[in-house]
Every structure is written in structure tokens, then in C-alpha cells.
Structure 1
Amino acid sequence: MTGLDEHVESHSDSKHESELAASETDGVGTAYLAKSHLINQCLQNEVGFGRYQWELFILSGFGWLADNLWLQGVAIILPQVQIDLDPPRVEYITLSVYAGLITGATLFGSLADVIGRKPSWQITLFLTGVFGIAAGGALNFVALCSLVACIGFSVGGNLPVDGALFLEHIPQSHQWLLTFLSAFWSVGQLIASLIVWVYTMGCLTFAMFFCRYAIFQLQESSKFLAASGRDEEAIHVLQYIAKRNGRNITLTLEKLKAANPGASDYSENGSVASLLKKSFSVFSLEHVRPLFSTKMLFINSSLIILIWGTIGLAYPLFNGFLPLYLADKLHASSSTNQTYRDYSITSICGIPGSIVACILVDWTRKSGKFTIGGRKMALALSTILTGLFLFLFTTAKDEASDLGFSCAASFTQNAMYGVLYAYTPEVFPTPHRGTGDALCSAFNRITGLLAPVIKIITTSRDGGSSSIGANAPVFVSASLFMVAALLTVLLPIETAGKAAL
């Protein structure tokens, strides 16, 4: 008898009681819960982590890279746009990109729970590349803002899907790699600081899309298929991945169906048109209610969405205008090259943060009745340190201090985002993961939309300080990071050491 056979047999005896209790906590039905456990067993013990997942890791990383590439690319061109196009307020470009990000995150994240992860994963970078190339030829400020909004729409739908898709293809033993994807985030910022030109960024993004679509044969998530009642397709996906990894699986369609015979929690049948119509009304609460279905889920989902929103305002208040802050700090002795040099150094310092985050997310220790460490501790620690370094940045009096504190903040911010992007999809179950990620990402972008508004209010037309003070946006950013750290401590669910449903 195989390990999976034994799992199915032993599972059937006390199945109803244990699954019912788990489903009340996880917000999923017993049919999907049983299938998810079998798929997790198959991924861990038979499919393993091999060639397919390594390829998926790199290509999913392109999504992280593209997201920050364009966010920082927009920030980087602000000083030059101010010179070349003389707009009434250069911050309107940042407003445009965030307007697009909100729409894209909501739409594509929601679509992932209705028509699957694969379509959104493939099309987002294609659209980003097209609009990015077009933005390189914008002839005026209005055209540039319009195309930047389209870029935001495309790239904004990428991250809510990428993390979910990668998580659902890997065994529990390798879930820490979801944290390491944040290294691509810093690489994106570094590339943006070195390239600067939007034509080049558009072509680079299009090349990443080509690798995803034409070179790699992406499989739909087996967990999404099982949640949709498409058990046979789920088995085919597992068989394909196992074969790519040079392995075989013993999990069969009969065993998967036996986990909950005749039952299927979710079924997405119908034409493409009907599915699209349903996806546009996805916030009809079919995938939202389960995220708040119990007291623990309500508290955890509410807090994680609030944390995303708080960080969503804090991060762009500093990073979205960092080239402007650096240029203003250098002032009399400054040059554009010197500003971008310091910005590139700051970008490089963010990359090691991903490595530290990977070490911290699975580090846990028992202390009496309590367990310390894990995702929550790593997230709280990196967030509070980010706030501290930004407070110190506002007190800096020379270039060395400015650069040092911005580098330290870049390091801790990248560690923070690495943990946040790992914890969030882990805490949402597969049937509703896309919607949960979409809610977090959309709220993150909505609050981010306020960043340029605050920047406009607190600084004058020529970049000088208003009565509020030039450091006011950075001070607000630092304070918000501190608030986010406090909210993290209050999260009731820890995902370290647990297989994602």
C-alpha cells in the first residue's frame, strides 16, 4: 500500500469530524479540503520540487521585477519629465499609475478565482510591454499620463496572480521560496535605476512575456482545478509536473474523487462570456464571504487588508519620490548623474533583504506555551525597522547619512515585502485566494493613490518645502510603517510550517 493509499484510508475514518472543524477555520468546504490535503501530499511526497518549479520560480519572479520596475521607473523619470514637459504638477504621473494599479489588481485578481490563474498570468506582462513601448513615444504630458495609467492597469493585475500560482505548484517544504521572490522586486528597482528609458523598459517587459508564453508550458493550478470540480484536469497537471521533474505519482482520479465522493464545492461551468460576466460581479461576495466566515478569519482578513493599505501609502510616500528627495538633499552640489548613482546604490542594498527574510520566515522557537518567530515576527521586525530608518532619514544633514539611511530602509523594506507577499497567499485558501489577494492589492493601491496627493500638499510647485516641511511625506511614511508593525503583531494566524490549502 502506498503512502497516499494509507493517507486516504486513514483519512476516511475520522474525516467528517476533522474536516468540518478545519473547514470552519479555513473558510472552505469539506470536499475541497479533502482534495487539497491529497494534492498537498502528492506535491510533497511524489511530485517534489524540481525543474518545473525552478522555471516557474524565475518566470513568476518576472512579475515581481516588472511591478517594481515600472513603479520605480515612473519615479525615476519625474525629474526629467519636470524639465522636458513642464507639467502643472509632475505628481499627476504617479496618480495615473496608481489609478491603473487599482483597477488592474481588482479585475485580474478576481478573474483568477473564476477562469483560473493561467490566463491572467500570461496576459498581464503582454499588455504591460505594449503600453510601455507606446509610453516611450508619448509626445505630451497628457498622453504620457494616459499610457502610464494603462501600464498600471496591466502590471497591477500581475502580483495578485503570480504569488497564488507559484504557491499552488510547490510542496510545503519549499513555500519559503515565495519569500525569496522579493529579490526580483529589488532587481526591478535596480534595472529601472540603470536603464531609465521607458522604451527599453517596455521591450524588456515584452521579452519577459515572451519567455512566459512561448518558452514555458504553464499548467493551470491543480488546486484551482480541484476546487472547480475539474478533478481529471488536476490529475493531468500533477502528472505533467511530476514527469518534468523526472518522477511519477500514484495519486489517481479515483483516489481524488474518493476523498469526497459525489461532492464538489465549486463548479465554474458555462461559456467564456458568462464567466467574464460573473467575474465582473465577482465581488457579489461568492468569494469574499468565506474570507470573513468565522471570527478568526474575520479578524485576520481584516487586519491583513488593513496592513496592505497602510504599507500601500507608506511605501510610495518615500520610494515613489526618492529621486526627488535625493536631488533636493544634494541641492547645490547635485547633478542628475549623482542622484541616480545614489538611487542605484539604494536599489542594490534591497536585494540581500530577501535572503534575510527567507531565513526568518521559517525560524520558530518554543517559549513555554508560546511560539516565537515565523512569518508574523519577521514581518513586524522588518516593518518597524523600516519606520525607524525613515525617521532617521528625516534627520540626516549630509549626503552620506542620506544614502546610508535610504540603503538601510531599502534593505528592511525588501525583507518586509518578501514576508508580506508570502504570508498573504498562504493565509487564503485556494478557492478564494485570488479574491483575497485582489482585495489586499487593490486596497494597497487605493491608499497608494493618496501618496502623490500628500506630496503635492506638503511641497511647493518648484519642489521646495511648504509651511508643513519638505520632510513631511517621509515622516508620515515612517509613522505608517510603525502602525503597520503594530497591526502585524495582532494577526491571529501564523502560517509557518503549514501547507497552504
Structure 2
Amino acid sequence: MPQDDRINLPSTASQVSRLFPRKQAEEMDTVTKDETKTPYEVGMTPKPEGSIEVIASTELISFRHVDEALDAKMHLVNQAINQIELTPYHWKLFCLNGMGYAVDSLLPILMSIANTQVVLEYQPSYNRGGQIGLYVGLLVGALFWGISADIIGRKWAFNMSLFLASVFSIGAGAAPNYIGWASLVALGGSGAGGNLVRHDRFPGIFTGRRAMAGHLYGLMVGCWSNSSRPVRMGLYANPGWRYLYYTSGGFVLLMSIARITVIRFHDTPKYLLCKGEDEKVVTLLRNLATKYGRECDLTVESLASQGKITSTHSKKVFSLSEIGVHYRGLFSTKRLGISTLLIWFSWLLIALGYPLFYVFLPEYLASRGAEFGQTSTYITWRNYVLAQFSSVFGPVLAGYMCKVPVIGRKYTMAIGAVISMVFFFAYTAVRNNAENVGFNCATSFAINIYYGTLYAYSPEVLPTAHRATGNGTAVALNRIMGIMSAVIATYADTSTSVPFYICAALFGWMALVSVLFPYEPQTSQSV
């Protein structure tokens, strides 16, 4: 945004002590504020006549006893964000970030759909190489983009991740052999691995909706999946799966172009704040407010008066000590440390349950269809599309459930996990095709109530300075278990009901962990 878009407002600096008209329970790591205080009374400029009064926010995590300057400045920035509220820029960013979730859903679905036909064409000695390659790539991408995003910023991951995923996905369609295909699938995964680690620019209103675009895209992939059926034409014996990769890779390429043309991406104000770049924080928020006719009373002086942030970066940025700072920051308080571990454990659990259901679902559907006397490939993929379509509405319902005061984020996940567990156990009682399709759709819907909320909850309860590292590690652990699911599938019969019993038990654990989460962000703001 141009520099001359700034607006000049009067400024004053307040004393540090005036920033904290609130009580703190140290053992709970939370902050309670005097709600009669407005942003103009806690370090911003004097309240202009006729301006809108904004009630002070409550920070989810308090760093007052770790880094008082960070705690104070984060409070001021949250106040400024509350003043500006949602703008068209945020809605554009919402859609563009949703493309990242879409690609994260797309790549495993592409691989699972194409794998059977690729194996038929190349006859490899080990037929799970594609899945292992994909998850290794996603693992490397999550760690690389996650840790680097906290060091050099989110901009590179935002602009490059989809482009890399699209190029390698298109290349996978032209693979000359099975090893080449698996390698390109892995490289595509390493690019896409940056899509889940830096979606932290949204106000809380988007919680529960962030993952919805990913499930919408699953429907598109399912509609294209019929092209992967065995046919004979042209140079290759079975070009259907190749067309699937070309089409999907081309669509992702369009997404990557949209990311650099629709908006000019800037690093988040809180990331810049943690780097000590107060002027850039104020300029970014002021320009955004000016462009969309909003109020923003944050000043450089009010931030500078709170002191210097000392806990977010090491002296040498590109070093092991810098990485250590970000991991230690995730455990800077006891409560935050427990929260971090439970988030990582949740991603481990869903990583085993989710692939067992989705990645091996085509094999299971085919076997159940044969058992019921239905062998049509068309019907198998039709049922697959119906299951994907049903999953779209899980995050939609989760978005509304998150707003219910007695439910919130934690119990939305718990309810979704319990419902999923019930459907998994009930699935084994299926006796005909109609029940088979119905339970698949219901299970897909319930799973994504949990998964959609977990996607949104994880970055909310991780501190900005270390958020990409924490989220990247969570996703990396998720990918490790994805690799394990491939190993399990090698020695287990995924066309039987056994995976459903395993998934049911896993979702039971997920429900318990959700209830144990120490933070409920429903009425608080991330820091």
C-alpha cells in the first residue's frame, strides 16, 4: 500500500503502568481487564471527538512475567486490530489462504485416486511408494516453511508454496516410471507443506471456516476422479491419471498466480512487532485503516514507550540458537507448554485416523461394493464424490458451534470426535449399498467437524513469535504418522473393517484430548 495513504493523527505516550488496568492470575497465565477502559486509555492517542469506542480485548496468553514489553505491545496491537475490524483485504486473504488448505487436501486425494492406476501401469515391487513419498515431502515442507516463516517471515511461504506444488504436480503427470512419479509427488508435497504453517492473519470471526475451502476442493477432485479409470489411448497405456494431475496441477498454478496478483501480501503486524519493527507495524495498520475508511489510533510513540522486546529472537537470526528460541518460546509458561504438547498429540492422532479413512477409502468402497454385488467403477467413484461433498458441511457447522458460549472451540472438537467414533463403530454393521453410502457420508461430515476446528484452533493458541514453528512441528508430526499409516496398510488388509475400529478408538482419544486443552479462545484474542 502506498506510503502517502497514511493519515496523521495526534499522538501521546502513556506510562507502562497505565497499560495494565487489570488483574492477573499468574498460575492460570491469563489476564482479566477492566472492561471500562478503552484503547484511548491504554497507550493510544487521545479519543477523537465522534470516534467509535472499542472495548479492551482479553489476551489469550499472558507474557507479563516473561517479556513485559511483548505483553504490553501485543495488547496495543490487538486494540488497533479490533478498531479496524474486518476489511475487504481480510476477505480476499481468507479466500487466498483457503486455497492453501485446498491444496493440502488435494495432494493426498490425488495420490490415493491415481495410485491404483499408476501401479497397474508400472507394476512396482512396492506399491505404497507414492504415499510414503508424499508424506515425506509434506514432512520436510512443514518443518522448512514452518521454522523459516518465524525467521524470515510468512511472505515467501505464502507466495512460493502453491507455485512449487503446481509445478511438481504437473510434472508427476508426465512421470516416465514409478520412482519418478513418487519422487515428483514428494517434491510437490514439500512445496505444499508451507500451506498450513502460516495462516495466522485472520480475526477470530474466521475460526471454523478456514478449512472449508479445502473440503470444497475435495468435491472437485472427486468429480475429476472418473478420468483415472483404465483406458487405452495415445502414447501411454493409461493416460487417465495423467490428465488428473495435469488438470489439478494447472488449477493450483492458477491459484498461485492469484496469490501474487489479487493482493500485495505483507507480513503480519504481530510478526513485525516481534521483530521490533514498530514503525512498520503502525504504517501497515494505519494504511489499511485509511484505505478502507476505518479508525486506527496506534502510534509509534505508544509502542516505543513500552520498551524493547527481548524474548522473540536470538542475536544471530540464521543460527541454531534462533531455532532454539522459537521452540523454547512454545514452553515459556507451564500452561502454554501443556497446550503445545496437547496440540501436537492431537495432530499425531488425526494423522493416523484421517489417512486410514480417506486415503484407503477407495479400496474399502470397492471391496464393499463387490461384497454387495456392485462392481461398477462409476458407482464406486460416485460414492467417493458423495462422501467428499458431505465433508464440506462439517466445517460449516463447526463454525457456528464455535460461537455457542457453552461449547466453544474445545467442545466443538470433542463433539465432532465423539460423533465420528460412533459412526466408525456403526459402520461395521452396514448390510447394503444404501447404508454403505449413507454411513460414508455421515462419517465424512463428522470427521470434518473435528478436523476443521483443529485447523483453526492450533494457530489461535500458539504465540505469534513462535506460531509457525509450533504449527509446522504439529503438521510435521502429522506427516510422520501419515507415513506410519502407509506402513500399516502394507501389512494390513485395508479392504476390511479393521481400519474403522482403529479410527474409532483414535477419535475417542481425540475427544478426550480436546476437553483437556487449557485454552478456550472464544472470548480472547491470540498474541
Q: Which runs of 5 or more structure 2 residues have no equivalent in the other structure?
A: 1-8, 32-60, 226-243
2:211–2:456 CA contact under 8 A, matched in 1: no
1:231 aligns to what?
278
**2:486 is the counterpart of 1:452:** yes
2:13–2:301 CA contact under 8 A, matched in 1: no
1:39 aligns to what?
77
CA distance in 1, matches of 2:325, 2:448: 34
1:369 aligns to what?
none
**2:18 is the counterpart of 1:13:** yes
What is the TM-score with the length of structure 1 in the denominator?
Answer: 0.87
Q: Which moved more, 1:234-243 or 1:300-309?
A: 234-243
**2:235 is the counterpart of 1:194:** no
- Report the alpha carbon displacement of residue 124 of structure 1 after superposing the two structures with TM: 0.5
**Matches for 1:29-428 after TM superposition, within 5 Å:** 29-45=67-83, 47-161=84-198, 163-164=199-200, 166-167=201-202, 170=203, 175-196=204-225, 197-258=244-305, 260-266=306-312, 275=317, 277-278=318-319, 281=320, 284-331=323-370, 332-365=373-406, 373-428=407-462
CA distance in 1, matches of 2:379, 2:322: 47
| Greater percentage in helix | 1
SS in 2 for 1:229: coil
Aligned in 2, Cα 1:391/1:219: closer, same or farther, shift over 3 Å? same
**Letter matched to residue 195 of structure 1:** W
SS in 2 for 1:44: helix
CA distance in 2, matches of 1:37, 1:219: 21
**Letter matched to residue 241 of structure 1:** L
**Letter matched to residue 304 of structure 1:** I
Q: Deviations over 1:155-178 (max 9, x none)?
A: 1221111x22x23xx3xxxx1313
Aligned in 2, Cα 1:262/1:151: closer, same or farther, shift over 3 Å? closer
Aligned in 2, Cα 1:266/1:289: closer, same or farther, shift over 3 Å? closer
CA distance in 2, matches of 1:194, 1:355: 21
In percent, how many aligned pairs have the same letter?
A: 33
Q: Deviations over 1:194-221 (max 9, x none)?
A: 1230111111111100000123111110
Q: Deviations over 1:58-87 (max 9, x none)?
A: 001000111101111111112322332233
Aligned in 2, Cα 1:410/1:262: closer, same or farther, shift over 3 Å? closer
Q: Which runs of 5 or more structure 1 residues have no equivalent in the other structure?
A: 366-372
2:511 aligns to what?
485
Q: Which moved more, 1:149-158 or 1:327-336?
A: 327-336
What is the TM-score with the length of structure 2 in the denominator?
Answer: 0.83
Q: Which moved more, 1:356-365 or 1:373-382?
A: 356-365
2:398–2:412 CA contact under 8 A, matched in 1: yes
Q: Number of aligned residue pairs: give it.
A: 466
Aligned in 2, Cα 1:302/1:5: closer, same or farther, shift over 3 Å? farther
2:462–2:470 CA contact under 8 A, matched in 1: yes
- Report the alpha carbon displacement of residue 287 of structure 1 after superposing the two structures with TM: 0.7
CA distance in 2, matches of 1:426, 1:7: 31
2:313–2:325 CA contact under 8 A, matched in 1: no
SS in 1 for 2:176: coil
